[in-house]
Structure 1
């Protein structure tokens, strides 16, 4: 049993007067930020708990603001809170991990895989009230090179899907339907297959695929129909998934299979679990390559090292039985 799994049943209580330092990405609009402030003042104010809301208007400053808030949380024995979607939460969580302070979540995204997987309610009032009596539990996070991810990391076609999705969102708004339509459109476009070398447990294998997807979220694994891989995450492992080289129509069929929760039934998908792998590209050994981590795109230099973090993130969430009942 891993150290995280061994201590996952008992959370750490917080001081009754621990302050909250909340970092919110205002990318979804000022109206949502103002509504969040009203809820915080009502729920935390009624409990006489001190909080500080830092709204980030420029996404380029999110990392800096998160680090400053994390330093304040550590100095005052408080909690760093991220308010936003999975990408925002990952950036703020990374600051909490570096500062060794507890982390909490106010979900404000479209899919909210991280918060849903840990049983944190999407309702603003409920997630805010949870801050007052939740314990801090250790949860697993992953890294690719120096970049952390809570939900997943990928290279190849998947980052392209995310880039196209952002274009569609700017044109048609943020919704799951828009995200689905964008994905279908991208899947029907021509795409190249990567030729990757993967060093895993002392051996090297060659993998040809349109994308390499590394998952760290039970809910997402279960939804695409890979329950065995979902259970592996609870054992301190990450999951690598790669579709075998196929044409565009079959690739689309695989995506629809995943959307229907039946991806594990397909013989056209390779998967394995690991704690650490190194990925190289024979023709791009030292070049930059696009990586998506929790919906955010970055360019990282080959080789890529995917690994489970040795240090867990301390997350405020419901007790395990309640969290499991809340997952959806």
Structure 2
């Protein structure tokens, strides 16, 4: 009935309206051709990659969503649900496609790909998706306009694509932009112009285009800055000397996570409030603690507004404890972190983490360890400062940094086909139910490695080797301007 009425309306309109092609007709035909085989979306992806940041991560999810919806539509739904294309005369000749596909009309693959890509992008960057949504809608409509699909093909195709994009959250969590919940508000020195504030600046952090030192000098003209003089020397010793010399009222730091943890250790030892001015490439701690903006941190320093939050420490073979503010790890995890951070600028954090895990697990050797009097074999051991989320996928963010807990995750190597099962679980979003995956929340943890000493990594950097490790939470030990 709908087809008959629609066909009659089209036939009547073509007798009344001019038959000459309009610019919109030519544009829709061109747009529909551009979307063949996803070429249009690959081109848009190249542009988003050039922009970087969240648009780049959004493009990766968009492509993965497109790939999944294309496979489902073309390899499963079309063969199972065959449907004839609209007849050749259904639309005016000047609107007709030059080549009518021979595959099933139902559902529309172009519409599925368009909806999947834009929905995937929207999960990571709603602003970017708002720009692309009209393009996706035009692609979907163009398939009806040029006469190769029925309207219902397009509607169902778009629903399939959007559903596939939403399904990616099952195995690749969407990172929340909300900072972690911190501890109680506490007093800190009020330093409006920076007088009495010593700021440690690492010029090697971040990208070559970033120079936050000039902005800090403008915001805090009376602050004393310590620029890392010897990148190969002991940064902690340089900072200790500067603190003894300047006797600051508070401490600041501008750099990546490695620089932040050095300043945090000094701040805790000398009971100084810490102001974090993110200047690294990734700034995991600054992002989780909600101090990503230099101007916002300056305002907190000016009014003396600070909060307390947790840190953690680890000692190896009875040596002095080493502080960490994000994560510490043993086994293959340090290698996976290095690979992920090398690759995530190109493909996004989760795909880089998944690819790094595949690479490391393929080459890793099991570690025989005793964890709190329980002897097991593991591929990796991850210890997070605070609770990480999600619990059953690759850790993406921290909702809490104030409960005095360590987030411990083990990848077991003493299960049959453990590597294959772990990779399958990570790919399907079922890691939480895998027998090879364990997660617990503790206040402290003792680990003994049997055999040769292994590498210890803290906050993404390998800091030593050992056989006996003790991880401990230090609740609310750091005062942070925020």
Q: TM-score, normalised by structure 1?
A: 0.74
CA pair 105-255 structure 1, distance change in 2 beyond 3 A: farther
State the distance in 2 between where 1:103 and 1:210 align. Answer: 36
Q: Looking at both structures, which has the greater relative contact order when contacts are Cα pairs under 8 Å and sequence separation is at least 6? A: 1
CA contact (8 A) 1:197 1:281 kept: yes
Counterparts of 1:1-328 in structure 2 under 5 Å? Answer: 8-16=183-191, 19-28=196-205, 31=208, 35-45=211-221, 49-56=222-229, 58-72=231-245, 75-76=247-248, 78-121=249-292, 123-145=293-315, 146-164=321-339, 168=342, 175=345, 177=347, 180-181=351-352, 184-185=355-356, 187-188=358-359, 189-199=362-372, 204-218=373-387, 220-222=388-390, 234-245=402-413, 246-256=417-427, 263-284=431-452, 288-309=453-474, 312-317=477-482
Per residue, is there more helix in 1 or in 2? Answer: 2
State the distance in 1 between where 2:400 and 2:291 align. Answer: 22
CA pair 133-56 structure 1, distance change in 2 beyond 3 A: farther
- How far did 1:293 drift? 0.3
CA contact (8 A) 2:310 2:403 kept: no
State the distance in 2 between where 1:176 and 1:134 align. Answer: 39
How many residue pairs end up in the alignment? 287
State the distance in 2 between where 1:42 and 1:94 align. Answer: 27
Residue 325 of structure 1 is matched in structure 2 by none
State the distance in 2 between where 1:62 and 1:268 align. Answer: 39
State the distance in 2 between where 1:32 and 1:101 align. Answer: 31
Per residue, is there more strand in 1 or in 2? Answer: 1
CA contact (8 A) 1:89 1:105 kept: yes
State the distance in 2 between where 1:209 and 1:196 align. Answer: 7
- How far did 1:109 drift? 2.7
Residue 323 of structure 1 is matched in structure 2 by none
- How far did 1:95 drift? 1.8
For structure 2, the 5+ residue unaligned runs are 1-181, 316-320
**Cα deviations by residue, 1:287-306 (Å, 9 ceiling, x for unpaired):** x4211100110223321111
The secondary structure found in structure 2 opposite 1:39 is helix
- How far did 1:102 drift? 1.4
- How far did 1:164 drift? 4.0
CA pair 29-12 structure 1, distance change in 2 beyond 3 A: closer
The secondary structure found in structure 1 opposite 2:266 is helix
State the distance in 1 between where 2:393 and 2:420 align. Answer: 20
State the distance in 2 between where 1:44 and 1:152 align. Answer: 31
State the distance in 1 between where 2:400 and 2:457 align. Answer: 22
CA pair 137-160 structure 1, distance change in 2 beyond 3 A: same
After superposition, the CA RMSD in angstroms is 3.3
State the distance in 1 between where 2:307 and 2:400 align. Answer: 19
State the distance in 2 between where 1:59 and 1:26 align. Answer: 13
State the distance in 1 between where 2:183 and 2:400 align. Answer: 15
For structure 1, the 5+ residue unaligned runs are 1-6, 318-328
- How far did 1:130 drift? 3.8
CA pair 98-54 structure 1, distance change in 2 beyond 3 A: same
CA pair 71-175 structure 1, distance change in 2 beyond 3 A: farther
State the distance in 1 between where 2:411 and 2:449 align. Answer: 17
Decide which structure has the larger Cα Rg and report it.
2
